[in-house]
Structure 1
Amino acid sequence: MKLRQMKAIKLNPAQVLALGFAGLIIIGGALLNLPIASEDGESIGFIDSLFTAASAVCVTGLVVVNTAAHWTLFGKIVIILLIQMGGLGFMTMATLLALLLGKKITLKERLVIQEGLNQFSLQGVVKLTKYVIFSTLTIEAIGAIFLSTRFIPIYGIKTGIGFSIFHSISAFCNAGFDITGNSIVPFVGDIVINGTIAMLIILGGLGFSVYADLTSHKGIRKTSLHTKLVLLSTAMLLVIGFVFIFIIEYNNPKTLGSLSFLEKIVASMFQAVIPRTAGFNSVDIGGLTKATSFLIIILMFIGGSPGSTAGGIKTTTFGVIILSITSVLKGNTDVVAFKKRIPYELIFRALAVLGISLVLVVFVTMVLTLTEVKNSFLDLLFETTSAFATVGLTRGITPELSSVGKLILTFTMFAGRIGPLTLGIALAKKQGKDKGSFRYPEEKIMIG
């Protein structure tokens, strides 16, 4: 269906986005279900192809088969295209096509772009879309060049270039798909590969509006509160993750124990970055201690930043909630950050995103405990959070899931990709309709 024809259908931008992503998943699933997509020449099956397509479009990275071994070149091209379209958003890709064809962007289309990029205003959304496309292609190209300096000597020119492009796109889009066969584990001590992929993940998870803000100002002090909160919360989460993983896993023979001191630092930093949310790993995730696994669950749930390729409830949501708690403990009336007051509407929306996300993760985990009785609760909670936050990390249970479990996680990935991106703005629109000519009387209840 053409975007212009959507005018005749009364769909709000959030619904258009949901249908767009669902359409990409179905098309991708159909293509991956073709025999030419599998190395054995046989169809992988509808559920597995749909799961893989959802994982690619939702830039998650959970896989039911080994990506390198199972898929043909055709299948891998389909997957990386789905990752690119899913990471940027289907409206961004549609806008690129419209611009190339010289077509005008209608108001309806601008509203959908606004929703997809998580912007508060229609002003400049087309300009921001152009910036998103340009910066994405530029960063991915630079990342591929750095990766090629290591992959070409190892795999040869043709394969090395292919590996470099694939992993650069997968990393920047925070997808976590790999075609090495074992993620980044063979390169656990390689500073260039680990550093490049980690930087691509971080850049992909910051958000395009942050890039635009940083490039339009000469110093961080002059940037918006959003940019400052994103950078501060991201830095804090990375440092906390690194220190915790380095200390707890230092002597764990299943993860860091057998590595040199430098390799332990590189691996700890990499593992602290991947919950941003990309499913790459350089050590065995199933071998992590329970404490580290639970920390990663928390980091995955928080995820990246709004308007980025990452998932989760977002760093700004987490930051606003922490600031609100701090404000209550100090007895302050207003929630303040960097000498700026945060509106109560944003606090309510942050709480709504947190509450709905928690309910979804808890509910899905409970259902999986009934359908996947062979797996432990920690493994299922880890898998559910990874799917919801579109991370792609797993403790090794994804291929063993039942058909029902795969379908449940397919929906969870879809809900995680759509929900956190659109819920805040959707709630803000509804708030305007609730304002009437009167207010109900106030009455207190006991809290805590």
Structure 2
Amino acid sequence: MKFKFTAALWSPPRVLAIGFALIILLGASLLSLPSVSADGQPMRFIDALFTATSAVCVTGLVVADTGTFFNAGGQLIILALIQVGGLGFMTMATLFALVFKRRITLRERLILQEAMNQTSMEGIVRLIRRVIIYSLSIEAAGTAVLTARFAAEMPLGRAAFMGLFHAVSLFNSAGFDLFGNYRSYTPYVSDPVVNITAILLVALGGLGFIVISDLLEFRKRRRLSLHSKVVLATSGALFGIGAVVIFIFEFTNALAPLGWDGKIWASLFQSAAPRSIGVNTLDIGSLRQATQFFLILLMFIGAAPGSTGGGIKVTTFTTLVGAVIAMMRGKDEVVLFRYRLARERIFKALTITMISLAVVVAVTMVLCTTEDRAFLRILFETVSAFGTCGLSTGITPQLTDFGKLLLSLTMFAGRIGPLTFAYALRPKDEKELFRYPEGRIIIG
């Protein structure tokens, strides 16, 4: 009886939720120390908790300007929280276990399977090794390029730190920056080096490690998995459609002062930004409401499973679209790239979407009551928090303490995933010993 209680209490979803919560509390405690602020004044704990949650959940929403409020020590703490949050604390724990040659237990493999959103434990440790190698290699390459670019404007030491911070932040879809005064990447709206590097880092982080592994082994295997095909096709389509929509909607508005090269780069960058990146080269608050609402839709969809991004995930979105098309065509099965999807996959996609919608609607309604802000701006911040995106219309620093706490919980739920969050809260499973008779209701 005691073993059953312990096994239920420390189920993989609960371990993930508790682990992330403990890291957030540790980060909040460190960020509230006076020694990490630029002026020596300690940050209020509620603000430190919000910042730590945003970093660990790789979101990017901030209540204090990272580049001016924190000194180098505080910025290093945020960088460490981003790295742990992006890769996942179990991945980091596995890294230390591999370094010290400690055996990975069965329970740890189960937790890793849950953390990486895998259907099987087979090859999970090998996958973790690849995740670590890919991540560090991509971050190192991004750091080198950004350091070389920033070295033209500042001393080499500062350029190296800026390059490292922003490469890690971009790849992990964190959205933090050190440019100061909440400017994000607006000074580089027409800079091809910064734009290309940022978009590539975001794309690689948002595709997921399974897709990256598939692409690297393509020359040997000569085929891609169905998962990789769906992620690449959907991500490419959303990126292209997003850039065109933003270019059209903002051509005479936010893009008007820019030249043709700036218009194109800004449209591409803002199309990549809702994939959970959280940085921008255009002032989000100045965009048309139609553009802001379109960005909300992209943020809600998010990135790919097993990636550093959030949202309901592109595979969930594609599965639902496939189900709608199949129903309209009178088909009984959802087929993608000549593969039939199991019904449990469709039910899971529907469950994730409905839970996500419920969270977004509930949080938005509460914030509309407690915060004196326009509805669309509140909805934008809510979806940005839940999708761990970090794009903001600028109202986050002015939220009440209750609003900050609620958005912190929203970021937390979005990071560990709505389904995992629900599993972590539910009671122990009990096997049903009977089935109810089938009934019929009228739909539509």
TM class by shorter chain equals over 0.9
Are positions 1:444 and 2:443 aligned together?
A: no
The 3 A distance-change label for structure 1 pair 341 and 219 is farther
Quote the residue 2:130 is aligned against. 131
Quote the residue 2:389 is aligned against. 391
CA contact (8 A) 1:214 1:220 kept: no
Mapping for residues 165-180 of structure 1, pairs under 5 Å = 165-180=164-179
Q: Deviations over 1:54-87 (max 9, x none)?
A: 0000000000011100001110000000000000
Quote the residue 2:197 is aligned against. 196
> In the TM superposition, what is the alpha-carbon distance from 1:222 to its structure 2 partner?
1.8
Q: Deviations over 1:130-178 (max 9, x none)?
A: 1000000000001111112211111120111110000000000000100
Quote the residue 2:265 is aligned against. 266
Structure 2: which amino acid aligns with 1:107? Answer: L
TM-score with structure 1 setting the length:
0.94
Gaps of 5+ in 2: none
CA distance in 2, matches of 1:277, 1:381: 16
CA distance in 2, matches of 1:266, 1:420: 33
CA contact (8 A) 1:207 1:306 kept: yes
The 3 A distance-change label for structure 1 pair 40 and 423 is closer
Quote the residue 2:365 is aligned against. 366
CA distance in 2, matches of 1:21, 1:421: 16
CA distance in 2, matches of 1:194, 1:20: 35
> In the TM superposition, what is the alpha-carbon distance from 1:225 to its structure 2 partner?
0.9
Quote the residue 1:114 is aligned against. 113
> In the TM superposition, what is the alpha-carbon distance from 1:350 to its structure 2 partner?
0.3
> In the TM superposition, what is the alpha-carbon distance from 1:439 to its structure 2 partner?
4.1
Are positions 1:184 and 2:185 aligned together?
A: yes
CA contact (8 A) 2:413 2:421 kept: no
Quote the residue 1:153 is aligned against. 152
Are positions 1:73 and 2:63 aligned together?
A: no
> In the TM superposition, what is the alpha-carbon distance from 1:425 to its structure 2 partner?
8.8
CA distance in 2, matches of 1:371, 1:424: 26
CA contact (8 A) 1:187 1:194 kept: yes
CA contact (8 A) 1:60 1:176 kept: yes
CA contact (8 A) 2:91 2:128 kept: yes
1:417 alignment partner, one of 415, 418, 424: 415
CA distance in 2, matches of 1:190, 1:336: 42
CA contact (8 A) 2:17 2:421 kept: no
Quote the residue 2:29 is aligned against. 30
CA contact (8 A) 2:352 2:419 kept: no
CA contact (8 A) 2:355 2:418 kept: no
Q: Deviations over 1:385-441 (max 9, x none)?
A: 0000000011000110000000000000000001247369989xx99x7676x6433
Runs of 4+ in 1 over 4 A off after TM superposition: 6-9, 423-427, 433-436
Q: Deviations over 1:6-59 (max 9, x none)?
A: 977831100000000001100000000000111110111110000000000000
Structure 1: which amino acid aligns with 2:79? Answer: I
Quote the residue 1:3 is aligned against. none
> In the TM superposition, what is the alpha-carbon distance from 1:216 to its structure 2 partner?
2.3
CA contact (8 A) 1:174 1:277 kept: yes
CA contact (8 A) 2:14 2:424 kept: no
The 3 A distance-change label for structure 1 pair 396 and 235 is same
Quote the residue 2:379 is aligned against. 381
Q: Deviations over 1:301-355 (max 9, x none)?
A: 0000000000000000000000000000000011101110000000000000000
CA RMSD after TM alignment? 2.0
CA contact (8 A) 1:250 1:256 kept: yes
CA contact (8 A) 2:323 2:334 kept: yes
The 3 A distance-change label for structure 1 pair 219 and 327 is farther
Secondary structure of the corresponding residue to residue 21 of structure 1: helix
Quote the residue 1:210 is aligned against. 211
CA contact (8 A) 1:349 1:424 kept: no
CA contact (8 A) 2:37 2:71 kept: yes
> In the TM superposition, what is the alpha-carbon distance from 1:96 to its structure 2 partner?
0.5
What is the percent sequence identity of the aligned residues? 50
CA distance in 1, matches of 2:44, 2:8: 34
CA distance in 2, matches of 1:320, 1:271: 25
